[in-house]
Structures are given as C-alpha cells and as structure tokens.
Amino acid sequence: MSQLALLLIAHGSRRQVANDELVKLAELVRQRRPGDIVEIAYLELAPPSIPDGAANCVAHAGVSEVRMVPFFLSPGRHVAEDLERYCGEFTEKYPGVKFVVCPPLGLHPLVVDALLVRADEVPGD
C-alpha cells in the first residue's frame, strides 16, 4: 500500500521554545491527517536535520511520496535553494520514493486571516 509522508521543516532555533512549536504543529497535523506519516526536521541549529527527517520518513513501510512542507513564510533562499537541493539529493538517495517541496505559507488567504487574528490579540487588553 502506498503511503504519504509529510516532512514539516522549520528553520531551527537556539531557543527550545521556538523548536517546540514545530513539534506541536506535527502533533496537530497528525490529528487532522491520521492516515499520513508526519515527521519534522530543522534546517539548522536543532535536531533532527533535514536528511535525518527524510530518513525517518522513508523508514516507514510503504512510503512512496514525501512532501517537504516548509514552515516558512516566504519563498526565500532556504525554500528556493536549500530545500530544492535537498529534494534532489533525496530523490537520488531513495529511488522509488518521490520527494516534492511544497510552497511556503506565503500569502495564502488563511495566513492573512491568522495575521489579523494575531493583530487583535493585544497583550494587556
């Protein structure tokens, strides 16, 4: 049976509280997509690395596609260059598994909605 894996990727931080957000995000995604494999990775500063995250994805039986989902706001250098480079490397390393880099959050209408909600969450009000 063909299995889809989502590799959620964040930049990584020296602040553990920032890294913990990706862990929590993965838990929330797993709840909403119980049929998919969900793993995490950080570009730098925290484990697991992106190569380790990819390896964790393909270690699950039947994974035929890994969608690299950047938890980034814009299509900057990390998304446009680094993640695309990793995608090519993983395609060679794991024949038979399709790797795809998904778009960053960017200007998606739900990001605008989330931003406006946050704009109304003024501390002390």
pLDDT tens for the chain, 125 residues long, are: 689 999 999 999 999 999 999 999 999 999 999 999 999 999 999 999 999 999 999 999 999 999 999 999 888 887 889 999 999 999 999 999 999 999 999 889 999 999 999 999 988 76
Q: Output phi, psi for 9, to 5 deg.
A: -125, 125
Match domain 3-119 to its CATH number in 3.40.50.920, 3.30.420.40, 3.30.70.260, 3.40.50.1400: 3.40.50.1400
What is the spatial order of strands in the sheet that 63-70 belongs to? 37-42, 3-10, 63-70, 98-101
Whole-angstrom Cα distance, residue 25 to residue 5?
15
Domain ranges for the chain, please list them.
3-119
Beta bridge partners of 10: 42
Whole-angstrom Cα distance, residue 13 to residue 6?
21
